[in-house]
DNA sequence: GGTGTTTTGAGGTACGCAACTCATTTTGAG
DNA sequence: CTCAAAATGAGTTGCGTACCTCAAAACACC
C-alpha cells in the first residue's frame, strides 16, 4: 500500500571502502584533481556509478564556504517584460541568501552585438554563472563560447543563441508561440473571412521572426479564408506602432484579426480603439470586432483583456523564467542533473478568465 | 550598472552577539525549547527580525541528520491524471534522495470519507508532512485537523478542504477553470446560437460542482445565444458517459458546444464522433461541428486535440503539482517561507499548437 | 640497487547548525 | 537572607563534504 520513492543515501566513506581506496583519493577523482592513476580513477568512478552516488547537497554546500556569483545580463531599456523578470529575481532574495548565492543584474544594450559581446567579456572569470538575454550574432556567439571555455555556466534567457555552446536555454519555442497565436486569431474570428494584420518590433529580431513564421504557417494551412497583410514594423514603440497600424486600418476595411508580435501594445490598442469608435462598431458584448492577440501579461495587457479589447495573450511566465534560470545555473554549477520538465517554459494562453 | 540582489548572510553567532546572549539561548528560542524568560525570548526574536536572519539551509539540513518522511495519499483507482502526478514524483527520486527526503505513496479510496479519514489517522505521528487528494467531508476535515494538531504539515492536492486547517492547497481555482471553459466554448462557437451540453462525473464532487458553476456563470452573462442543457452525470466512466451523451445528442440536433468536466473523455469523444459520422457533417477543415472543451492533457486528450476532435483542454500541470506539493511540504517543515507565486498552479489553456 | 617522480593514505580543519550536558548565575518565594 | 528553581553560559559532538598538508608507498628509469 505504501510505496517508497527514495533510495538510501551513501556517503563518500562508503564509496572509498567500495573502491578500496582512501577518502583522499575519492576526493581527488571527484574534483578532477591530478595525481591519480587512470586505473584507479576508473575503479573509483565505477564504484560511484554502481551505487548511483550523489554527494549530499547540504554538506557540499556547507563545506565549500564561498558564495556563488551569478550575473543576469538584461536589456537596459524600459521593457515591461524584462522588468517583471527583474522584479521576480528580487522576490527571490531571501531564497538566494540562505543558499549563499549572489545574483547581480547587469544592464546593457543587448541590441548592439558589439556592446553585448563586450559586456560578456568583462564578466569572464568573475562569475560562476551567467544568464543573458542574447541577440543571435556571431560576435555574441563567440563571447558566449569564451565564457563557457573559461568554466562559466551560461544560460540564454528569453532569446536563444542555438549555435553557441551555451549550456541551456530558458524560454519558449517562438515558432510554436506564433502558431498558437495564429490558431487563436483564426478560431476566434469564427466563420468570417477577411484580412489579418501583423505588427512586430522588427523582423530582424530572431524571436519576432520566428513567431511570424509560425503564425503564417497556421494561417496558410488552416484558415484559407483569411489573408495575411505584410508585416508592419513598430520597433516595439507605442507611437510608431499606432501610426503604422492606424494607416493600415484606414486602408483596409475588412481587417478581422490582428497579431501584435512584440511590445508597443499601448499604441496598437489605441489605433484599434480609434477605429472602433469611428466605425461605431463595438458589438453588443462590448467586444471589438477585430480579434486581437498579443504577447505577455503586463499591467496594460491585463486591462485590455479585462476590457475585452484584447482577446488573448500568449504568455511566458516571467516568474518561472527568473526562477528557472537561477535553478538551472545552480544545478549546472553544482553538477546536479537538471529537471528538464520543471525548467521548461510553457506557452501560456491567457484569456480574461484565466488571468494569473 | 551591476546591482546585487542578495544580502550578506549572518550566522547564529552574530544573532547571539546582537541580542547579548549565548548561542545556547538563541538555539532555545529558535527551537521553542523551554527555560527562557519571556523577556529574553523577545530580545532574541527582535534581533532575528531586525537582521532578517534565516538559518543557513545547508547547515541546518546537515545538522538535523534524520531524513524527513512525507506521505502522498492518492486515489487507488486508475485515474490518468493521478498517475501522471505519481509518475512525476517518481522522476524526482534523485532530487529527493540528495535532500534526504522519503516520499511514500499511500493509495486509498479517497471517495469514501470514512476510509479516507481512517487512512489519514494511521499516518499520524509517523510523518513530517502529508499531501492528500481530499474529499470535502466533515470526517475528512476532522482527520486533517488531527494531523495538523499532531505537528504534521498538511497540504491538500488537486481537491481542497478549505474549512480544514490544512497549511496549503496545491491546485487550481476550479470556478475560474469552469469560467475559462465557458469562455472558450462560447468564443469558439462563434456567432452560432444553439445548445450546450455538460458532462460531469458527479455534481457531488466539489471540483466538478465548482467548474460547472463557473461555466454557467460565463454562459449566462456573456453568451445569451447559447442555452445550457441539464448536466449529464457520467461518473467519470467511459461507457456511461458515452451512453448519456449519445442519447442527448440524439434528442437535440442543435447542440453546438460540449464541456466535459471530468474524466470519461474516451466515451465522450466516441459519442461525438458517432454523431458526426451520422450527420456526415465534418467541416472541410476536418473539424467537428460541436465545440468540445475538456480537462487535462493525457495521451488521449493529446490525440483528440491533434485530430481536431477536441478544441481545447483546460489543464493543470501535474508535474508542477507534484513538485509544488513536495516543495511546500519541505518549506513548511523547515519553517522557510513559501514562494506563493512559484507554487501557485495555473489554469492552462492547451490547444493543438501549444501542447506541452 | 638507487634515484627521482608519481601515486596514495592518513589525518586535520572548517563550514553553520542541532542537540545535548553540565556548571554557573540569577531570580523569586518563603 | 536562604534555598530551590529557573535561566543562562560555555562547551562538546556530529552531520558529509571540500580542501589542505605531510609522509609513506609504489613505480619508472637508468
Widest CA span in chain B:
85
Residue B338 has a pLDDT of 87
Residue A121 has a pLDDT of 94
Choose from A68, A101, A353 for mutation: most chain B CBs within 10 A. Answer: A353
What sections of A31-159 are H helices per DSSP?
38-50, 57-64, 80-91, 93-98, 113-123, 138-149
CATH class, domain A12-54, is mainly alpha
Across A26-30, A206-210, A212-216, B106-110, the highest mean pLDDT is recorded for: A212-216
Please provide residue A227's backbone torsions phi and psi, each rounded to the nearest 5 degrees: -110, 135
Selecting from B3, B57, B344 the residue whose C-beta is nearest the C-beta of A104 gives B3
Residue A221 has pLDDT above 90, yes or no: yes
Residue B255 has a pLDDT of 92
B10 to B50, B64, B332: CA distances (angstroms): 12, 20, 22
Pick one of 3.10.20.30, 3.40.50.2300, 3.90.700.10, 3.40.50.300 as the CATH number of B67-171+318-345: 3.40.50.2300
Residue A285 has a pLDDT of 41
**A174-315 belongs to CATH 3.40.50.1820:** no
Distance between B156 CA and the closest CA of chain A, angstroms: 18
What CATH number was assigned to the domain covering residues B1-51? Answer: 1.10.260.40
> Which of A172-186, A197-211, A270-284, B133-147 has the weakest average pLDDT?
A270-284
Residue B278 has a pLDDT of 67
Q: Please give chain B's pLDDT, 356 residues, in tens.
A: 578 777 777 888 888 888 888 888 888 888 888 787 888 888 888 888 888 888 888 898 888 878 899 999 998 877 788 899 999 999 988 888 888 889 999 999 877 889 999 999 999 888 999 999 988 889 999 999 999 998 899 999 998 999 999 999 999 999 999 999 999 999 999 877 899 999 998 887 788 999 999 999 999 999 999 999 999 998 888 899 999 999 999 899 889 999 999 888 999 999 988 877 766 544 444 445 799 999 999 999 999 999 999 999 999 999 999 999 999 999 998 888 888 889 999 999 999 999 98
Contacts of A105 in chain B (CB under 8 A): 2-3, 5
Burial B259-290 (b: 16+ CB within 10 A, else e): bbbbbbbbbbbbbbeebbeeeeeeeeeebbbb
SS3 A218: helix
Residue A7 has a pLDDT of 67
The mean pLDDT value for A65-92 works out to 89
Selecting from B6, B311, B319 the residue whose C-beta is nearest the C-beta of A102 gives B6
Selecting from A55, A94, A353 the residue whose C-beta is nearest the C-beta of B176 gives A353
pLDDT, one tens digit per residue, over B90-143 is 998 888 888 888 999 999 987 788 999 999 999 988 899 999 998 888 999 999
Residue B286 has a pLDDT of 42
**Cross-chain residue pair A103–B4, CB shorter than 8 Å:** yes
Residue A67 has a pLDDT of 85
Widest CA span in chain A:
85
pLDDT, one tens digit per residue, over A245-294 is 999 998 998 899 999 998 889 999 999 888 777 665 444 444 457 999 99
Same CATH fold, B67-171+318-345 and B1-51? no
Please give the residue that has the higher pLDDT: either A206 or B132: B132
Sign, CA dihedral B104-B106-B107-B112, equals negative
Whether residue B339 contacts residue B315, with contact meaning beta carbons closer than 8 Å, is answered with no
Percent of chain A with pLDDT over 90: 56
Q: Among B194, B115, B207, which residue's Cα sits nearest to residue B160?
A: B207
Rounded-to-integer distance, Cα B169 and Cα A41, Å = 48
Residue A174 has pLDDT above 70, yes or no: yes
Domain boundaries, chain A: 12-54, 67-171+318-345, 174-315
Q: Is the CB of B65 under 7 A from strand D?
A: yes
Amino acid at each position: 500500500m505504501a510505496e517508497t520513492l527514495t533510495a538510501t543515501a551513501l556517503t563518500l566513506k562508503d564509496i572509498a571502502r567500495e573502491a578500496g581506496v582512501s577518502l583522499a583519493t575519492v576526493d581527488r577523482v571527484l574534483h578532477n584533481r591530478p595525481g591519480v592513476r587512470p586505473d584507479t580513477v576508473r575503479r573509483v568512478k565505477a564504484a560511484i556509478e554502481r551505487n548511483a552516488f550523489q554527494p549530499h547537497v547540504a554538506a557540499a554546500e556547507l563545506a565549500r564556504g564561498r558564495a556563488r556569483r551569478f550575473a543576469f545580463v538584461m536589456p537596459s531599456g524600459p521593457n515591461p517584460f524584462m522588468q517583471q523578470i527583474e522584479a521576480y529575481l528580487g522576490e527571490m532574495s531571501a531564497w538566494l541568501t540562505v543558499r549563499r548565492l549572489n545574483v547581480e543584474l547587469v544592464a546593457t544594450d543587448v541590441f548592439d552585438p558589439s556592446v553585448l559581446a563586450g559586456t560578456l567579456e568583462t564578466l569572464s572569470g568573475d562569475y560562476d554563472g551567467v544568464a543573458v538575454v542574447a541577440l543571435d550574432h556571431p560576435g555574441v556567439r563567440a563571447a558566449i563560447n569564451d565564457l563557457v571555455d573559461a568554466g562559466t555556466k551560461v544560460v540564454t534567457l528569453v532569446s536563444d543563441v542555438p549555435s553557441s555552446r551555451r549550456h541551456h536555454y530558458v524560454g519558449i519555442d517562438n515558432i510554436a508561440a506564433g502558431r498558437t497565436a495564429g490558431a487563436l486569431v483564426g478560431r476566434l474570428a469564427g466563420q468570417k473571412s477577411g484580412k489579418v494584420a501583423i505588427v512586430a518590433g522588427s523582423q530582424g529580431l530572431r524571436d519576432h521572426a520566428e513567431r511570424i513564421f509560425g503564425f503564417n504557417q497556421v494561417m496558410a494551412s488552416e484558415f484559407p479564408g483569411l489573408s495575411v497583410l505584410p508585416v508592419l514594423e513598430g520597433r516595439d514603440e507605442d507611437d510608431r506602432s499606432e501610426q503604422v497600424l492606424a494607416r493600415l486600418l484606414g486602408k483596409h476595411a475588412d481587417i478581422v484579426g490582428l497579431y501584435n508580435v512584440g511590445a508597443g501594445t499601448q499604441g496598437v490598442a489605441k489605433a484599434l480603439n480609434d477605429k472602433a469608435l469611428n466605425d461605431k462598431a463595438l458589438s453588443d458584448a462590448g467586444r471589438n470586432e477585430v480579434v486581437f492577440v498579443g504577447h505577455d501579461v503586463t499591467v496594460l495587457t491585463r486591462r485590455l483583456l479585462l476590457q475585452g479589447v484584447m482577446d488573448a495573450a500568449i504568455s511566458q511566465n516571467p516568474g518561472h523564467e527568473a526562477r528557472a534560470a537561477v535553478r538551472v545555473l545552480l544545478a549546472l554549477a553544482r553538477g546536479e542533473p537538471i529537471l528538464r520538465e520543471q525548467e521548461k517554459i510553457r506557452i501560456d494562453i491567457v484569456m480574461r478568465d484565466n488571468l494569473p
